[in-house]
Amino acid sequence: MLMTIDVLTLFPKMFEKILDESILKRAQNKGLLRMKIHNLRDWTFDSHHSADDKPFGGGPGMVMKIEPVYLALTTILNKKVTSNQKPVTRKRTKVILLTPQGKRLDQKIVKRLAEEKRLVLICGHYEGVDERIRNFIDEEISIGDYILTCGEIPALALIDSVTRLIPGVLGDDESLRLESFESDLLEYPQYTRPADFMGMEVPQVLLSGDHERIKQWRKKEAVQRTHERRPDLIKETKNG
């Protein structure tokens, strides 16, 4: 499966190094991920390539203009749209605005988005994006209840989390299945050599070679760790 991710951004250079490293680079080299980074200033027409302006009604800061975002969307999705249409012309395509007002990203959302064929990510900036852009998006996502300078960092977090779930990217389905949040539990403790470091020893069960005992120990530790550190996950599982 090939996933295409388009990013609409005012700061395309923020993506260069990260997309050329580690799993994201591997996914692209395998032909499983196609990244397209679009500079929103390419859809501005004044001499300064302005993508922002002062807010109507006054107030601090600047607001991203709707025209560059709208024109970028209609260009990359190859369709002119009216104000009561969303510019999504293909099945399994989602247009997402990264904003602190969106749904908080979790593994359930990541799994759902990983089933799409194409994602279009709009990176907000300044005091936000002109409200009218919400007529042309499918979803709003936040990565947490805190303030960041721009939407590029949340976009990178979303890209990384979704890419890991593309079949064939990691090459180890068992490893993916056992990661934190995959079963609404945090991951169990992990150890590697040396078995004894400054008197701190690895639990003997992990050295026993008894795979059933190791499996039971890991499950118990995962539940205990989740109760201690993220009891909200246990509550969410019971409520679900």
Walk me through the domains of the chain, giving residue ranges and CATH numbers.
Answer: 3-163 (3.40.1280.10), 178-239 (1.10.1270.20)
Q: DSSP string of 97-122?
A: EEEEEEEEP-HHHHHHHHT-SEEEEE
pLDDT at 175 over 70: no
CA distance linking residue 134 with residue 108, whole number of Å? 23
Short-list 115, 118, 114, 112, CA closest to 90: 118
Contact of 7 with 145, CB cutoff 8 Å: no
Q: What tens digit of pLDDT does each residue of 146-156 get?
A: 989 899 999 99
What pLDDT digit, counting tens, does each position of 95-143 carry?
A: 999 999 999 999 999 999 999 999 999 999 888 999 999 999 999 999 9
DSSP bridge pairs for 3: 33
Q: What number of residues does the chain have?
A: 240
Place of tokens 């593994």: 107
| Sheet order of strands, 3-9 included | 33-39, 3-9, 118-123, 93-104, 139-142
CA distance 206 to 20: 36
User: Residue 89 has what pLDDT?
Assistant: 47
Cα–Cα dist 163/23, whole Å: 8
Task: Tell me the pLDDT tens digit for each residue of 23-76.
Answer: 999 999 999 999 999 999 999 999 899 999 999 999 999 999 999 999 999 999
- Please write the tens of the pLDDT for every residue from 181-228: 667 889 999 999 999 999 999 999 999 999 999 999 999 999 999 999
Report the C-alpha gap between 226 and 233 in whole angstroms: 7
Per-residue pLDDT tens digits for 162-173: 999 999 999 766
80's tokens: 């002119």
Q: Apex CA 15: angle with CA 169 and CA 176, to 5°?
A: 25
pLDDT attached to residue 88? 45
pLDDT at residue 129, rounded to an integer:
94
Residue 176's pLDDT band (cuts 50, 70, 90):
low
Nearest to 185 by CA among 118, 137, 234: 234
pLDDT at 127: 84
Strand-strand pairing, 3-9 and 33-39 = parallel
